[in-house]
Amino acid sequence: MSTPGFTQAVAAIAILLSVIVRWIRSGATWQAIDEGRATADILRELTGIIDFEKLQEVFGAPRLEDGIFPVTRHEVLRQRTGLGFLIGDGWLDGGSAAIALVTLLPVWPIWGTRMWLDTLLIFASIYQAAGWLAATRLIGRR
């Protein structure tokens, strides 16, 4: 039994930290949807629909008094785009975390899966990095 190489360990830890931050952020936005506090920024993050006019086409106009869109979790899930999944998805982030955790286990070289696990680790890293890059599109929209 051996531990993963330094590069694999650093990549796995970086993925785990990224997933934790994304889960916290995603949990807060879904909680806002469940509590009926869906602003345009929250809907942009969850659906990936950046344009405000497109948000109004899809979800209707927000309330005038507070700018809250009257939407449900189901409506938001139905309207998610590829960008929305890239910005944050529980299943994809969970898969990335699982790959990172398996990489950190000291038993994986026994299975003869180093090449497969390294490949999965690369895909998980690319997904996390692409998600953060996609999220930068939301910064200028506030």
- On whether residue 1 sits in a domain, the answer given is no
- On whether residue 49 sits in a domain, the answer given is yes
pLDDT truncated to tens, each residue of the chain (142 aa)? Answer: 455 678 888 999 999 999 999 999 999 999 999 999 999 999 999 999 999 999 999 999 999 888 899 999 999 999 999 888 988 888 999 999 999 998 888 765 555 667 788 899 999 999 999 999 988 887 765 5
> What total of structural domains would you count in the chain?
1
Which residue range is the domain that position 19 belongs to? 6-139
Q: Mutual orientation of helices 40-47 and 6-34 as an angle, nearest 10°?
A: 130
- On whether residue 109 sits in a domain, the answer given is yes
Residue from 60, 85, 83, 81 nearest 71 by CA: 60
- On whether residue 98 sits in a domain, the answer given is yes
- On whether residue 29 sits in a domain, the answer given is yes
- On whether residue 121 sits in a domain, the answer given is yes
